[in-house]
Structure 1
């Protein structure tokens, strides 16, 4: 076992300048488990393949950061380096370089995992926003405190967090790369009008509009006469399928019965199934109580 003198900027940002004093060695891949607090949900196969090719050619330039597994001696849990870990396993590497940090507290582990991932450049905007939100809510940080922790401006933290106010179908577009963060920020001006967001989003995707063109489209919509906007929304717009599915699931989980929402423009009906007279009374009791 040896000690490493060049662990990379990411580790230094996380732990300060004394990281060279930590234990550094080649660890068996089978003895490492993923971080259960990993905030990244989407790992692109193409990105991992490209990273694996780079590791195959140049090796792992920055060690993974791990802690000793308190429940099983001789094994370790990741703190930082999930992508490098996955890419190494893709290559079938038997060992990877690691440094071991003395982190026993679960809250500290979660905080380090969040900060390390936010400081990377490959999070999609929604993963980044959710990581910010987790950091702020779990550790009672203000946006100002979070911005200091992350080395970012308060305005950039606030702008990213606002993306969580968008409907689920726009969030999915951001995750899949169909829309950019700039497109999404433009649509935030219509955050209280899901039908309008859906209408403009469809135009952006079908016509491959730029962020600037999207902003112009949003401004044009906002400056329509109120009666014209209302009429279009009432006469032609249905709620988006993804949002309709969310509402259906919420009702189904609440009533423990199959629920169907049938749309007809801005109107529609809700169908609730029941399976016996007792079940009907149960469902009615839940609805009346609410």
Structure 2
């Protein structure tokens, strides 16, 4: 991992960062950029347009709004100052939206003066750590940090407290067609279903079959594997060429561990082939590093 100060700061963990942001000025007096808790007009608070979280369940917002009407906002919204006397949300957009539904004119805020990069990092990390993102939003958030700030998959794994393979598998979902991603976004497909579709020739058609038949992830993997075999050998389209469940489970475990497509082909003699597919030199170098370590 490189020595970028921002990454070292995030590597301390979200809990520490958000914990600091929620502390009043009396406990953070040594930090000149920290302002005390205060209330601001709700129409002066705006969402962060680059927040990876786009979907907020209406029912959940209504429940929170009902609670806010009775008890107020228990945890302040964390914001930063922007132009025209307004404040942009760093953490707490859900509370802000519910407060609007509850009819509040003012909300309590904690003001932290951070730059665009740090605001984006915190928005992504906060949502990922609190499991507020669906798989597509999570993947887009990772992609944004990689594209805009040069994070590697290892960097992101350390920052968000997840494995590199988790990050890699999340990013693979972005290879799917938009209509399949929409199904994943809506929750009609799980991330496990969607990952099985990535190497297939007809992910949309297979996705519709999976949803229509209510297939399990394992069933979806069998369906995808048959499609891949038929794609490489058209003769197999008319033959039953399913792998046994144990082999499919092994392929899934290895693929999840490496974050790459893994195929296991057994022969009748007890031997066989293990194939790992990579699409970049970075992925190849990672495979070599893992093998050399062992």
Regarding TM over 0.5, the answer is yes
- Greater relative CO (CA pairs within 8 A, separation 6+): 2
RMSD: 2.5
**1:12/1:19 contact within 8 Å kept:** no
**1:64/1:98 contact within 8 Å kept:** yes
Q: Distance in 2 between matches of 1:227 and 1:119?
A: 44
Kindly indicate whether residue 64 of structure 2 is the aligned counterpart of residue 51 of structure 1: yes
Q: Distance in 2 between matches of 1:43 and 1:159?
A: 24
What secondary structure, in the 3-state scheme, does the structure 2 residue paired with 1:189 have?
Answer: coil
CA deviations 1:142-182 (Å, max 9, x no partner) are 11111111121111111111100111111010111111111
* Number of the residue aligned with 1:14: 17
**2:81/2:113 contact within 8 Å kept:** yes
Residues 48 and 19 of structure 1: CA distance in aligned 2, closer, same or farther (over 3 Å):
closer
TM-score, normalised to structure 1's length?
0.67
Aligned residues: 216
* Number of the residue aligned with 1:122: 132
**Gap runs ≥5 in structure 1:** 1-9, 232-290
* Number of the residue aligned with 2:233: 226
Q: Distance in 2 between matches of 1:149 and 1:179?
A: 27
* Number of the residue aligned with 1:140: 150
Residues 38 and 198 of structure 1: CA distance in aligned 2, closer, same or farther (over 3 Å):
closer
CA deviations 1:27-47 (Å, max 9, x no partner) are 221221221322222233233
Offset of 1:57 from its aligned partner? 4.4
CA deviations 1:60-116 (Å, max 9, x no partner) are 3322101122x223x32211111111111011112222111122x222222222222
Kindly indicate whether residue 168 of structure 2 is the aligned counterpart of residue 154 of structure 1: no
Offset of 1:219 from its aligned partner? 2.6
TM-score, normalised to structure 2's length?
0.66
CA deviations 1:224-249 (Å, max 9, x no partner) are 47124679xxxxxxxxxxxxxxxxxx
**Gap runs ≥5 in structure 2:** 1-12, 29-33, 239-294
Kindly indicate whether residue 49 of structure 2 is the aligned counterpart of residue 36 of structure 1: yes
Residues 189 and 86 of structure 1: CA distance in aligned 2, closer, same or farther (over 3 Å):
same
Match of 1:185 among 173, 177, 195: 195
* Number of the residue aligned with 2:210: 204
